[in-house]
Amino acid sequence: MTNIKCLVCGKYVNENNYNFNNEAFIDKNKKNSIIYCPFCGASSIYFSESREVYNVNPKEFDESTLKIVDHAVKLEVFNGDFYLEAAKMCKSDKVEAMFKSLSNIEYEHAKIHMRLGGFNNKPVLRNMDYSNYDTDEKLLKAASMREEHAVKYYNKYSKEINNEVLSKVFKILRDVEKIHIQLTLDEI
């Protein structure tokens, strides 16, 4: 099998990793049918063997665009942190595996934004108190609301930023988060 590159996160997808984070998808990758990137969740229509990974020159960004990308990094780290904690708190093994995979994917999204924005350090956010989410159902509801927020964020700013590549990446990630909404709601 070939080693195909995801143009969104830059990772290579192959027979050793096609099933990574499988629990974070509704339609699963199969060895002979890889339909999304197991790292960032982008559709396989954004795979290429020869094209360059989507890139921008962050020096060309104005201050407001930089702020939007910086906030996108924080949004994804915020959600990645939540899923990591939620995986420890939840009771169902199936939901735990899903939360772990979702956490990996959200952190990958943060890395994509860091690369595009030219940011070197992953932000450390303050510790949140999740103790109110004392059932799997509450955790899943909170998850779906975070995903809704992410979809709204990407929708709004993909239209406002005047950089074609960045806008495209925002729309691709919005579509990944849309799947996460359905995935988390399906478990309730």
Distance CA 49, CA 2 (A): 9
The answer to whether 5 and 11 are in contact (CB under 8 A) is yes
* 150 is a site residue for Zn ion (CB under 5 A): no
* 40 is a site residue for Zn ion (CB under 5 A): yes
Q: Please, what is the minimum distance in Å from the beta carbon of residue 7 to Zn ion?
A: 8
* 75 is a site residue for Zn ion (CB under 5 A): no
**Residue 14 in 3-state DSSP?**
coil
Smaller CB separation from Zn ion, 20 or 119: 20
Smaller CB separation from Zn ion, 91 or 171: 171
By CB under 5 A, name the one of 8, 24, 77, 172 that touches Zn ion.
8
Smaller CB separation from Zn ion, 2 or 162: 2
Of the chain, the end-to-end C-alpha distance in Å amounts to: 37
Q: List the structure tokens of 107.
A: 């952190």
* 87 is a site residue for Zn ion (CB under 5 A): no
* 68 is a site residue for Zn ion (CB under 5 A): no
Q: List the structure tokens of 7.
A: 């143009």
Smaller CB separation from Zn ion, 38 or 117: 38
By CB under 5 A, name the one of 34, 37, 90, 140 that touches Zn ion.
37
DSSP string, 90-150: -S-HHHHHHHHHHHHHHHHHHHHHHHHHT--SPPPPPPP--TT--SHHHHHHHHHHHHHHH
By CB under 5 A, name the one of 34, 42, 75, 105 that touches Zn ion.
42
By CB under 5 A, name the one of 39, 54, 61, 170 that touches Zn ion.
39
**Residue 160 in 3-state DSSP?**
helix
Q: Which residues bind Zn ion (CB under 5 A)?
A: 6, 8-9, 37, 39-40, 42
